[in-house]
Structure 1
Amino acid sequence: MKKNITSYLSSLCMIALMFSCSTDDKVVDDVINSVTAGAVLRTTTVNNTDMPLGDDSVSFSIEIEEQDVEGGALLSQVNVFLGFKDNTDDGIDTDIAEVFVETITADQFYEGPFGLPRAMLNYPITMMRSLLGQDADAPQGGDQYQIRLELELTDGRVFGVDNAGGIITGGFFNSPFFYNANVTCPFDTSLAETFSYTSYDMGPGDGSGGQQATGFGPYSSTITWTEQFDEDDELIEGLYGTPDFSFGMFEDVWGDSPATSPNAQILWFCSELLPQGADQYSDSYTYTITNVDGPTMTIMWVNTWGDIGTVDLTREGNADWPIIFGGTD
C-alpha cells in the first residue's frame, strides 16, 4: 500500500394576522405616508438579471413604474448608475466604482395599465463591460454588476436607495432603487463521460507537502466521471464522481490502487474543476488548469501528501471543452 500507512482520521396566516391589528394599521399608514411625502420606482417586471459567463447576448432587463401623489405628474427623470462588485476570493480586488449610464426623462416613459409612467431598462452585458472599461474575461462566477437608480421629481427632490425606507425598498412597493445582475456559470453540457489521458511530470510526495522525486511518466489510460444525485435522487449539476484523483499516478509511481474513496468527486465551478472529498489516505487534492486546446485540457495537480502530476485530459469523442474553460464548445 502507498506509504505503508493508513490514516483514521405559514406565511399567509401571519400576513392576515399582521394586517388585522393596530400595529399593522401603522405599517400601512407608513407606506401611504411615504408615497404621499415622496415617490417610488416600483419593479413591475424582471425579465433577466443573470449574466452567464461566456454569453455576450444577454442583457440586464427590468421594467419600472414611477408612483407619486400626483399620479406620476411629479416625475422629472431617472438617473441610472452602474458599478461592479468583485466577490471572487482570490486576494485580488477588481471592484469598479460606479459610472453614469443614462438619464431617462419623463417623456421617455410610457403609460402603464394603471395610468402610471413606466420604463424598460435594458442593458446588454457588452455595453456594461464597455462602460466600466472591463475585459470580457474579468468577471467570475459570483461577481455582480450593480445597477442603482436615482429618481428626480419636478420640485427638485431626489429619491434613491440612501433615503428610501425598508417598507419602500423591500416591502409593499418593491422599490429597491438598486439591483444586482449576478454573474452565473451555466451548465450547457455534462462532463459525465469517459476521458482519455496522459499523465507526466509525476512525483511521489514526502508526507509534508514536498516531493521525494519528480519526472515520472508518461502514463496513459482512460477515466470515467459519473453523475451524482442528492438524497431525493435529483441530479446534482456540475458534480461528478471520480475513480482516481491522481490520473494513474498512484498505480504508475506507487504501485498502489487508484486515489479515490466513496466521497471522491469533481465539482465543476465556472472555469474551475475542484476536487471534493479525499482519497483513501485522507489526502485532499488541488487541480490547476494551465491550458485548454480544443478537446484537451492540461491540469497540474498536487495533494496534501505532496504527490504531484500533470495530465492532458481529452474529452470523449474529441469534443471541445466548454467555452467557459477557454474552449469553443
Structure 2
Amino acid sequence: MFKYSFGLLLGALVLLSSCRDFVEPNIPYSTFDTAAYLRTIDRTSTDFNFFDLGNSNFALTLEAVDAEDGATVETVEIRVRHRRLIPGVGLEYIPAISSEDVLVRTLQASDFAPNSESRFLRTSFSIPASEAIQALGLTPEDIEGGDAFEFRLVLNDRFGRSFTDSNADANVKGSPFYASPFFYNVAVVCPSDLGGTYEFSATNMDSIYGSCDGTITGTTTWTPVANAAGVYEVSDGTFGFWDCYGDSWGSGSARISDACGNISMSGSDKYGATYSLTLLSSSAESFTFVWLNSDNETGEVTIFAQDGKPLPIFN
C-alpha cells in the first residue's frame, strides 16, 4: 500500500512539473499595470430634502483600492451637474450635457487615512446642498422637488492617470464587491408623513342623490400606499357624506397625494365616480378643501392636526 501511494504521489509531481512548461506565453505577473477605484463603504446621505435644503448633504465614506493600498491616490475631484425632467420636453441639464460638469471640491491624498477595518486608506466627506447649488450658479429658489444633482468622482493618481465612470469597467461600477460607481444621483425629495387618523369636520355637502345639512364630525384614516411615496388611501372619500343619507363608502378607493406641498385627490368610489379636490386654506393646525366627484357630489372638509404634530403647509 505504501509503495502504491508513493508511486501515485511521485507521478502527480512529475505531471505537474511537466505541465508548467506548456503554459505559453509566460504571464509577467510582476509587470501588470494596475488601476485604482473608490469602493463605497457608506452612503451616509444621498438625497436633498426640498423643505430643508439648508441642512441637506451629500455624504459618503470611500475606500481607495490600488496596488499600494490606496497610496497612489493624489486627488479626487467631486463634480456636479443639475438635472430636471420637464414634462413634454425631456431632461434639462445645468451645465448642458455637452459641457463638462462643475468642480465642487477636491480631496487630497492627505484626506485618506488608515482605518481599523481594512488595509486600504479611507476618507469621508459631506457636501452641503448649498455648496453644490452655489457651484452651479443657482440659488435655493431655483430648485424644485423632483430635481436631481448628479455627482461624479474623478480619481487622479500620482502616475498622471484618471479614473471615473466613463472609463471604469461595468463590474467595477455595478458589482457589490467593487461598489465603485464613481457616479451618484442625489434626488431632491419631498418627504411626506401624512399617514394616520385625523379628526375632521365637513359642511356644504350636496348631491343629486341627497344632501346633509349642518356639520358632520368624525375621523378619517389615511394609509400610506406601498411603493408610492406621498400617496395615501383614504378610509372614506366622501368624509361621512354618504352615511348622512343612508349609503356607505364600502369598496371605494380614493387617494390623497402630497407632492412637494401640492395636495391632490384621485381614485374612484364603488360606483366608478372619480374624485378631485380644491384646496381652500392651509396652516400647521388644519387645512380645508372641497372634494368633488364626477357625479357632482361635493363637500367642504377641514382636517385637524393630531397629537401636537404640525401639518405641512400645502399650496
Q: How far is the alpha carbon of 1:95 from its aligned partner?
A: 4.7
State the identity %: 23
Name stretches of at least 5 consecutive residues in structure 1 with no aligned partner: 1-31, 205-215
Q: How far is the alpha carbon of 1:303 from its aligned partner?
A: 3.6
In the aligned structure 1, how far is the partner of 2:258 from the partner of 2:284?
A: 19
Amino acid at match of 1:65: E
Structure 1 residue 243 corresponds to structure 2 residue 248: no
Q: Name the structure 2 match of 1:275.
A: 265
In the TM superposition, 1:133-152 aligns within 5 A as 133-135=138-140, 138-140=143-145, 142-152=146-156
Cα RMSD for the two superposed structures: 4.1
Q: How far is the alpha carbon of 1:131 from its aligned partner?
A: 3.6
In the aligned structure 1, how far is the partner of 2:215 from the partner of 2:49?
A: 35
SS in 1 for 2:268: coil
Q: Name the structure 1 match of 2:282.
A: 292
Q: How many residues align structurally?
A: 271
On the 8 A contact 2:40/2:62 being kept in 1, the answer is: yes
Q: How far is the alpha carbon of 1:158 from its aligned partner?
A: 1.5
1:161 to 161, 165, 176: 165
In the TM superposition, 1:1-329 aligns within 5 A as 36-55=33-52, 56-86=54-84, 95-97=93-95, 98-113=101-116, 114-132=118-136, 133-135=138-140, 138-140=143-145, 142-171=146-175, 172-188=177-193, 190-199=195-204, 220-228=215-223, 239-245=232-238, 248=241, 260-270=249-259, 271-289=261-279, 291-299=281-289, 301-305=291-295, 307=296, 311=300, 313-316=302-305, 321-323=310-312, 325=314
SS in 2 for 1:69: coil
In the aligned structure 2, how far is the partner of 1:260 from the partner of 1:152?
A: 63
On the 8 A contact 2:284/2:311 being kept in 1, the answer is: no
Q: How far is the alpha carbon of 1:178 from its aligned partner?
A: 0.8
Q: How far is the alpha carbon of 1:159 from its aligned partner?
A: 1.2
From the superposition, tell whether residues 166 and 273 of structure 1 become closer, same or farther in structure 2 (CA, over 3 Å): same
Q: How far is the alpha carbon of 1:124 from its aligned partner?
A: 2.4
On the 8 A contact 1:54/1:324 being kept in 2, the answer is: no
SS in 1 for 2:200: strand
TM-score (norm 2): 0.67
On the 8 A contact 1:129/1:136 being kept in 2, the answer is: no
Q: How far is the alpha carbon of 1:150 from its aligned partner?
A: 1.0
Instruction: Choose 260-269 or 167-176, whichever is displaced more.
Output: 260-269
From the superposition, tell whether residues 230 and 278 of structure 1 become closer, same or farther in structure 2 (CA, over 3 Å): closer
In the aligned structure 1, how far is the partner of 2:143 from the partner of 2:212?
A: 36
Q: How far is the alpha carbon of 1:154 from its aligned partner?
A: 2.0
Q: How far is the alpha carbon of 1:222 from its aligned partner?
A: 2.8
Residue-by-residue CA offset, 1:96-130 (whole Å, 9 max, x unaligned): 43432111122232233444332212122343344
On the 8 A contact 1:194/1:222 being kept in 2, the answer is: yes
On the 8 A contact 1:198/1:218 being kept in 2, the answer is: yes
Please tell me whether Structure 1 or Structure 2 has the larger radius of gyration of its CA atoms: 2
Name stretches of at least 5 consecutive residues in structure 2 with no aligned partner: 1-28, 96-100
Amino acid at match of 2:57: S
In the aligned structure 1, how far is the partner of 2:44 from the partner of 2:124?
A: 10
Instruction: Choose 122-131 or 145-154, whichever is displaced more.
Output: 122-131
TM-score (norm 1): 0.65
SS in 2 for 1:169: helix
In the aligned structure 2, how far is the partner of 1:106 from the partner of 1:173?
A: 20
SS in 2 for 1:275: strand
